[in-house]
Amino acid sequence: MKIHLYTKYDLQKQFPLNKGAAKSLVKALLQFLYRDNLKNREFGKEAAENFGLERATIAGKQGASEGQNFHAKLTTPKTDFSSCFGTCSLHKEVSLYFVSVSRISKLHEEFFQDPSPTDCISFPLNGDHLGEIFVCPKVAIEYAAKRGLDPYQELTLYVVHGILHCLGFDDLEPSQRRTMRKKEKACMEFLKNHKLFLKP
């Protein structure tokens, strides 16, 4: 499995991120979800139905940094979702971007017609690349400060959320949201028990 990590975000000195811990988190989380799928056989049915078997293909420059244009062409090939957890699924590539408020807002506006900052945006991909996940540390810091939470734990939740979206989970409808929240809770419990949260 290849995990590409990019960090260019606000408050980077005040809120450092351990890149090794971030990569370990992603790898362990995907392994956990893979084993969980084998146990419950849920991804090929429930999550595929949630996602409508639609996959997004991003045609743009990989590793886009702040200020570069990100062009996307959305397509909806009828892909068998269960293939995401095939034998070689753990060898897929994953790109994780920790970005600024400005960058996440631009992506939010470009792809969702909403210029406001958001916590996480993910782009599921086809082939060997599972997807690209953009998360905003400053959003996590501000949200955690208001509610007395650990910002690293909050940011970890955003990463979990993005990965689940790449695997086909959705939260647009109440039933989908309940399913996704349940899976998020299981993922966070796993990461907590194995001390795999993001850290400085």
In the chain, where does DSSP find H-type helix? 19-40, 48-51, 101-112, 137-147, 151-166, 174-193
What digits encode the pLDDT tens for the residues 149-165? 999 999 999 999 999 99
CATH number, domain with residue 111: 3.40.390.30
CA–CA gap between residue 166 and residue 133 (Å, rounded): 8
Assess if residue 200 is contained within a domain. no
Assess if residue 23 is contained within a domain. yes
Amino acid code (one letter) for 46: E
- Structural domain count of the chain: 1
Assess if residue 199 is contained within a domain. no
Range of the domain at 146: 2-193
CA–CA gap between residue 110 and residue 72 (Å, rounded): 9
Do residues 197 and 152 touch, judged by C-beta distance below 8 A? yes
pTM of the entire predicted model = 0.78
What digits encode the pLDDT tens for the residues 65-90? 333 333 232 222 333 333 444 434 55
